[in-house]
Structure 1
Amino acid sequence: MNQVLQNLQPRLADIFTHLHEHPEISWQEHETTQYIAALLREAQMEPHLFDDMTGLYVDIGNGEPKVGFRTDIDALWQEVDGVFKANHSCGHDGHMTMAIGTALLLKDMEHLLSGAVRILFQPAEEKAQGASALVEKGLVDNLEYLFGVHVRPLKELEDGTYAPALYHGAAKLFTGTIIGEEAHGARPELGINAIEVGAAIVEGLQKIWTDPNVSASVKMTQFNAGGSSTNIIPGKATFSIDARAQTNEVMQVITEGVERVRTSVEAMYGAKIDIKVDAHIVAALVHDAALQLMNAAIIDVVGEKACAPPVVTPGGEDFHFYTFERPHLKATMLGLGCGVTPGLHHPKMTFNQDRLLTGVNIITRAILRAL
């Protein structure tokens, strides 16, 4: 397998370069989907595309797949050198490269596989919507194990070290609208000031108490009200609330707290407040059996010294929705220590691409162990 891996390295470098230079945002990964499908067909595989969305999957081996690997395929939309554009600043170009490399490696040893493997190329991770779309299509229902991977910043993992699990936190994005009553600035008693209602919401959010032993936060991150006239009390405002928690249980406490704040502020001011959840990322649900398989695979490839402990990180990941919706899945994500700098989502983010081949080796061995 090592010789096959070495032969793959230049090809994977070319694949990464193409993916990095052709980023596409969530639900618009059309060229990316076609490019991956063409690579798989060229390697005598049969990729399955969707009629109603981007993304694809491929099965390798005989029978019903029991082991799966998932990669995300979308890019962020952000400002780079003064221009807003699609940009791979979260490592998905590297994740896709490792998934393709794993598929090529497994196809090469297909005659030796004791079962079938499903590789999922998932769209819209950055919108926290892609995993739910694949779950709804039943693509993980018959899987027993599901693995993933994510590049890690230097502050979490040293370059050349690898973690068998990533304990991401939960995240929720709430958006809301306040409907009060406009009035003249000289007659505030005739209006319901949307700005004052918003301030009361901020104060209420600060009074949501959660378990102090679990990292959590809830705060207003956007607020828009009023026009160019400063003598009008605004009657309407829009806002966003960002909530984070290291566990799903604490996120539920925060969610209930946001609803209490909404109803109490409505009653206090006589305003109408509508709040909805725009995005929900669940906290990691790592299965110990999957973690142990990944841990053994890391040691197989790089030895015990380069095998780091599981990483606890406040960031979120759509991957964990699979286990949230399908609790039978035994899942974990490989943390790839590849010197990500200056950090994830930075417009100029870079990492050590040489680690991608090691990632392919580790992921493949974890899959073989699971089979």
Structure 2
Amino acid sequence: MRSILESIQHELWEIFDHLHHHPEISWEEVNTTEFLKQQLVKEGYRVQTFSDCTGVVGEIGSGPLTVALRADMDALWQEVDGVWKANHSCGHDAHMTMALGVVKLLNHLSYRPPGKLKILFQPAEETGTGALKMMEKGVVDDVDFLYGVHLRPIQELRSGYAAPAILHGAAQIIDGEIKGVAAHAARPHLGVNAIEVGSALVQELSKIHIDPQVPASIKMTRFHAGGKSANIIPEHADFTLDLRAQTNETMEQLVEHLHHVVKGIEMIYGAEISLEQSVRIVAANVHPEAQKLMEKAIVAAIGQEKCAPPVVTSGGEDFHFYSVMKPALKTTMLGLGCDLAPGLHHPHMTFRRDDLLTGVEILARTVMETFRVAQAKGENDVEHFAANN
């Protein structure tokens, strides 16, 4: 398998270079969708695109079992050397390359799945809305196993190592607005200072205590109040809160505490505070069977000593909406070590490109092993039925 990978390496690097140098942000991945569609058609896949959104799904084969591989497509919008631009600094260009690499590798192996294999290129992961849109389109309705992949920063996994699961945390971004009462700065007793209300909110949020065994945090990341006149007590402020929790249950507790704090501050200050959720990401819901199959693939590809335990990270990923919204779906996400530095979302993020070949091999082996085990189980079920009837 490795020799075949090396024979198509040049083609994969061309794909990566194209995707890396043509980044598109969430819901604007139009050219990326077309490029991926052409690649899938070239490899003999049936292709589905959508009239009202970006994203593309390829499938091949048929049968009672459907295995799917998902890769995210969108780039970030960030400042790079003083210029704001779309930039692939989260590895999505690598994820798409690996997914296409699996397609090409399986074709070079003349592998035909004893069931249906789907390749899902999902838009808008960075906004936390792409997975939900794909579910709305029904692209995983027939899927039994769904696998993902994400490059890991060097702080989590070194090059040459891989993990059979990534335990992402839950995340929420909540925008808020404070409405107080304006007054002359010389007569503060006649007003309700939105800045003081915001300060109280920051202080009270720091007093929220959740089970210390489960990582969680809530903090204000943006606050704006007042105008050009310095002698006016501001009546209005807007702010943003960032909430993180390692489990979905803990996130629910954080949100509940937040609303209690807001109600208390409103009563104390006589202000109005409104909250609106802008981003929501659920925590990982890894299926043990999917994780075990991927672990077996990692060991086959790089050895037991290079198979790391599941990576626990505070970062979020909308991949996990698939299993939370469809509990019967068996999912896990490959964590690929590649000496990624200085970190994800850094404008000059780099990684060892050769490790993508390892990722392709692991994912391909995972797909093949999933079909093999399911087929063997089905045959055993038939034999068992025949022996007892």
Q: Provide the TM-score with structure 1 as the length reference.
A: 0.97
Q: Verify the 8 A CA contact 2:63 2:114 in the aligned structure 1.
A: no
User: Is 1:131–2:131 an aligned residue pair?
Assistant: yes
1:327 aligns to 2:338 (yes or no): no
For residues 369 and 228 of structure 1, the distance between their equivalents in structure 2, rounded to whole angstroms, comes to 65
- Which residue is equivalent to 1:217? 217
Q: How far apart are 1:29 and its partner, in Å?
A: 0.6
**Superposition map of 1:102-117 within 5 A:** 102-109=102-109, 112-117=112-117
Structure 1 residue 267, shift from structure 2 partner:
1.5
Q: Which 4+ residue blocks in structure 1 deviate beyond 6 angstroms?
A: none
SS in 2 for 1:112: coil
Structure 2 counterpart of 1:283? 283
In the TM superposition, residue 39 of structure 1 has moved relative to its aligned partner by 1.4
In the alignment, is the contact (CA less than 8 A) between 2:175 and 2:239 conserved in 1? Answer: yes
Q: Do the aligned partners of 1:226 and 1:237 also contact (CA within 8 Å) in 2?
A: yes
Asked if 1:300 is matched to 2:300, the reply is: yes
Q: Which blocks of at least 5 consecutive residues in structure 1 are unaligned?
A: none
Between Structure 1 and Structure 2, how many residues are aligned? 371
* Structure 1: distance between partners of 2:87 and 2:268: 45
Query: Would you say the 8 A contact 1:60–1:106 is kept in 2?
Result: no
Identity of aligned residues (%): 53
Task: Provide structure 2 residue ranges, at least 5 long, that are not aligned to the other structure.
Answer: 372-389
User: SS at the partner of 2:7?
Assistant: helix
1:13 corresponds to: 13
- TM superposition shift of 1:43: 2.1
Give the CA deviation at 1:256. Answer: 0.4
Q: Tell me the distance in 1 between the aligned counterparts of 2:292 and 2:64.
A: 24
SS of the residue corresponding to residue 299 of structure 1 reads: helix
Q: Aligned partners of 1:63 and 1:101: how far apart in 2? A: 23
1:336 aligns with 2:336: yes
Can you list the C-alpha shifts for 1:91-123, whole angstroms capped at 9, x where unaligned? 000000001111223344566321111111000
Q: Deviations over 1:122-171 (max 9, x none)?
A: 00000011011111112112211110000011110011111111111111
Q: Secondary structure at the match of 1:58?
A: strand
The 2-side partners of 1:42 and 1:112 are apart by: 16
Matched, 1:29 2:29: yes
Is the CA contact 1:67–1:143 (under 8 Å) kept in the aligned structure 2?
Answer: yes
CA contact (8 A) 2:214 2:245 kept: yes
| Cα distance in 1 between the residues matched to 2:274 and 2:172 | 16
Q: Which residue of 1 aligns with 2:381?
A: none
Superposition RMSD on alpha carbons, in Å? 1.3
Q: Are 2:159 and 1:159 equivalent residues in the alignment? A: yes
Q: For 2:108 and 2:116, how far apart are their aligned partners in 1? A: 13
CA distance in 2, matches of 1:17, 1:110: 26
CA deviations 1:170-226 (Å, max 9, x no partner) are 111010111111111111122111111111111221121100111111011100000
Whole-angstrom distance in 2 between the partners of 1:138 and 1:265: 43
Alignment-derived partner of residue 147 in structure 1 = 147
What is the Cα deviation at residue 65 of structure 1? 5.6
- Counterparts of residues 214-363 of structure 1 (less than 5 Å): 214-363=214-363
**CA 1:357–1:57: 2 relative to 1, 3 Å:** same
Structure 1 CA distance, aligned partners of 2:37 and 2:264? Answer: 53
Aligned residue for 1:198?
A: 198
CA shift, 1:44, in A, is 2.5
**TM-score scaled by structure 2?**
0.93
Q: What residue in structure 2 maps to residue 67 of structure 1?
A: 67
Question: Match of 1:172?
Answer: 172
Deviations 1:37-82 (A, max 9, x none): 1111222222211101011111121236611111000001111001
Shift of 1:234: 0.4
CA contact (8 A) 1:91 1:151 kept: yes
